[in-house]
Structures are given as C-alpha cells and as structure tokens.
Chain A
Amino acid sequence: NAGVTQTPKFRILKIGQSMTLQCTQDMNHNYMYWYRQDPGMGLKLIYYSVGAGITDKGEVPNGYNVSRSTTEDFPLRLELAAPSQTSVYFCASSYSTSGSRTGELFFGEGSRLTVL
C-alpha cells in the first residue's frame, strides 16, 4: 500500500527559484495537509484542504501556494524561494472530521528542502 507519497525527497534551490512539492494519496481521504518542520520546532501547518477544489491557509502560508484539483493530489508551490523556507516538508491526509478517526493523520516520508 502506497499511502501518502511525496516527491522529491531532497532538493536544493537557489534564492528566487520556484518549485513544486508533489503529494498524492491513495486512501481516498478528503482531508490533506502540508506541514513544515524546523529543528526543535514541531510541525507548523502551511495549508490544508477539506476536499477537491477547497483549500485554506494554516499558520504559516506566506511564500506558498496550493491547489487541489483531485482528491488524490495536493501539490505545494514555492514561489521565489528564500533561505527561511529551508525545512522538512510533510504532506499528510486524514479521514473527515466525523467519527472517531478525527485527527489521525497519515504522513508522507517528507521532503527536505534547502535554499541557498
């Protein structure tokens, strides 16, 4: 079972470049999320989506954009990369809020991004 798949796993960008982190899930989850994790800082929510065509900002959305054209895919776009965006990025998905599975996130393996 693939679960949540992220690509690329590693990437080095130069300041000002743009790129897209890809995320796809095969569990038919409606909810998808992008988090970033900096050393010793836990996980910060960048953007999330409650279904195809619906996205919303999290805690730290500046410098990022997302789209959700299908249930399976939730790409994260970095425009004009800055050193402050150096981080590990995790995509996650979950069941809907109804029922006892609320808050059970399934994470991808992460994408380590360095901006130089």
Chain B
Amino acid sequence: KAGVTQTPRYLIKTRGQQVTLSCSPISGHRSVSWYQQTPGQGLQFLFEYFSETQRNKGNFPGRFSGRQFSNSRSEMNVSTLELGDSALYLCASSLGQGFSVTQYFGPGTRLLVL
C-alpha cells in the first residue's frame, strides 16, 4: 500500500506571496490532518478534514486554510506569506473513525519564505 505523499517537497517563496501544498492520503483513509513543524514551536496542529469537511481546527490565523476533495486528497493554502511561515508542513492520514486512530505521516513539504 502506498504511503502518504506530499507535493512539492521543497518550496521557496517571498513574503506576501501565497502557496498551496498538496497531500494524498493512504488509499481508504478519509481523515487528513495538517501540522506545522518549526525548531522553536515544534509540531503544531493546523486542521483536520474528514469527508470533505473541516472537523478540527488549531490556533492559526485565517491566512492558513485548507480543503479536502471527494477522493480524500487535501490541499493547504497559506496566503500573504510571512517569514515566520518558514517550516516543515506535514500531513497525516488515518481512517478517521472507530478505534483505529493511528495517524500516518507524509515526508513533508519544506517551505522557505524569503
């Protein structure tokens, strides 16, 4: 079974631009979560989507948004980029219901904002 894939793997943007990151979950998984990882703050939860609906949300500004498509693929968008948005963005997928809640992570997208 293929794992979680994320594209692109690396991105360089400048302040004020916007960026879209993509995540394809493991086949059959309906939940996709996004996390931001920085050296200072560690891993922080952004949001979780299940069956095309945002089910959980973290404490990030509205510049961070996401969506999920009918095939469970998810995208995350960051508008008006700031230097502090430089981070490793990780997505994770899981079945999304029942007791099987293990989350499987992708390799991440490393975003550098200049």
Do A and B interact with each other, yes or no? no
